[in-house]
Amino acid sequence: MKSLIVSAALAGLATAQSLPLIPLPVSVKTQEGAFDFSVATAIRYDRSLKADVDLLVSELKALTGTAPQTGTEEQRNLFPSEIRLDVDAAADLPAGGYQLDISPKTVVITGKDSAGVYYGTRTILQLLPPIGDKAWKSSTPKKLPALQISDYPRFAWRGMMLDVGRHFYPPEDIKQFINWMAFHKLNVFHWHLTDDQGWRIEIKKYPKLTSVGAWRDSSPPYGNRNADDGQRYGGFYTQAQIKDIVAYATARHITVVPEIEMPGHAAAAITAYPELGNSDIPGYAPKVMTRWGVHPYIFAPKEETFQFLENVLTEVCDLFPSKFIHIGGDEAPKTQWAQSKTAQEVMKRERLKNENELQSWFVRRIGKFLESKNRRLIGWDEIQEGGLPKTATMMVWRDAKWGKHALELGNDVVMATTSHTYFDYYQAPAGAEMAKGKEYEAIGGHLSLETVYSYNPAFIAANPAQEKQILGTQAQLWSEYFKDMKKVQYMAFPRIAALAEVAWTPLALKNYNAFSTRLDGVMKHYDGGLVNYSKPVPPAKRETKDGGTLETSLGIYQNHWPELAFDGRADTFFWADRALRTDDHLTLHLKTPLAAATAVAVVTGGPASTNGDTLAAGVLEASADGKTWTKVADFSAGKSSGTAPTGTGHLRVRVSAPQENWLIVHEISIEGK
């Protein structure tokens, strides 16, 4: 069934790619005409879908200002215009699949299950004008193109991870974030609730976790990660708030997977209850951490600790119906265990060779407890150090080799590698982002929209059986540099759209250029929803704007090719990779010589470099034959401008004195070109 649908989809791909739909549906066929959607359009539904209908009614009311009428399938009242929602468990579709039939007379969504119906309604909402659009001020019906869509997700796990340990976001912000996940047909909200810098979940049995562990004395300000702002910071979610958020997500077919970090990243918990740490080591003085990074405080492997963790997880399981409970397991320094007499005695008693095996023993014990609660343990890929527990699911974040290792052992994995899914990395080059202001600071790295889109989570699978062990993928929003939801949105959007298509759409249907076209329509919904998204920048191409060529005596830093100095874009530039020597050059060979004397200018240096990398001493030269050169102008303060003579076919930036700093050339400007 799946292969047939994908084959059919390829035939109708051009049609689908013209629609503002993300993720791209599996199969789209056009029909004649359009459906007129208006305030008179009612919803008829299967009685089992009442909760989904209530949501759709509220969403359509937000668009039109009027709540649509509704009626169950059994009711005989006639509507002049209607959307029908139905469930067919026998439909030849995977879980979460749906069929959408839009004709001039009606709209019918048939889901394999209620989730499938819900995803079909997301498709309808994407096809309608966004909230606040001027089209809604008119009573003229909105046209839904007549289509037949058959659609289903590629992966069962399609997630976003949000860290609230470093920065806390109010419940309403969390709900808003969940709304946008649902808009993109994502279905797992991985909630990172505890860390060294804060404990964010109320545990009734241990009130100090929030009265003490939820608060730190200071935080690093934007722009200086090694400084302190001196402001007490914190917050936590009450159990009532958590239940409300879980219910809110569940109504939108999103599972909330809680993460309670152990054995490392535990400083906040140990500060609240110092007896849980390795108190028998020298200089033991836990505190809720005020700086980012990895810190040494780790839970002690003793009975008192396990009793605490089991009590905590009991309350966690009562709050979260998720099949999976995430226990972290990453970045757990072993230095305190190596110093602790208690930890060493446990290793001796359990015949463990080293501290890595002690961590795996720790994880296995927690895993058995979760099994007693009918839950499954999931953890970051460090849980395999010392041996991967047989029943654990691995979340792969460092190197894909750990995912391959888990698959070979028969364990399930969720792909969350830094290479493609870490949304705390810059959306654009760091220098360009930081030039906008200190509040644009990120942890480092550059993860472009195109790179996210290029991800194939199943690339590690050696065979179809292993591919089934890959549950899916998710993006990570580590919040060290996200002080508020506005910054979270800036880092998440529009990369969330790329991640959604990676997780949903068959690999054979993906095309970045077409995705970019559809994204334009989806970003209108971002605008309507007042999302603070990063405007995507087309990837740079190694070509000049006139078809000419550039050459240089200098090396090239990363992908800042010479051609980017003459491509007509303000956001790209050539960047050398070493100090400058006398007579180093960047030379432009024009495709067509200048027909008349023409004004030319060159600007060097830029915010991408901490040193500026401006040309301190140099000359701009012109030549008709590329051999005999005439000075146009000297460089002053990194800039040069003058008039190139008639017949100039070559322009050269030549270094006239050595300098330690590298060189950035932003753009060679030629009047009329």
Catalytic positions are 195, 265, 331
Q: Amino acid identity of 523?
A: M
As a dihedral over the C-alpha atoms of residue 195, residue 199, residue 203, residue 207, rounded to 10 degrees, the angle is 130
Whether residue 52 contacts residue 117, with contact meaning beta carbons closer than 8 Å, is answered with yes
- DSSP annotation of 299: B
Pairing mode, if any, of strands 393-396 and 413-415? Answer: parallel
**How far is residue 193's CA from residue 185's CA, in Å, rounded to a whole number?**
23
- DSSP annotation of 303: H
The angle formed by the CA atoms of residues 137, 118 and 17, to the nearest 5 degrees, is 70
Q: How many CB atoms lie within 10 A of CB 215?
A: 18
- DSSP annotation of 163: E
Alpha-helical runs (H) found in 145-235:
171-183, 208-211
Annotate 24-61 with b (16+ C-beta within 10 A) or e (fewer).
Answer: bbbbbbeeeebbbbebebbbbbbeebeebbebbeebbe
Sheet holding 639-644, edge to edge: 574-575, 664-670, 598-604, 639-644
Pairing mode, if any, of strands 70-72 and 41-45? Answer: parallel
- From the list 551, 572, 586, 557, the residue with the least C-alpha distance to 662 is 557
**How far is residue 513's CA from residue 617's CA, in Å, rounded to a whole number?**
42
Q: At 195, which helix (H) or strand (E)?
A: strand 194-195
Structure tokens that stand for 296 in this block: 């040494």
121 strand-pairing partners:
none
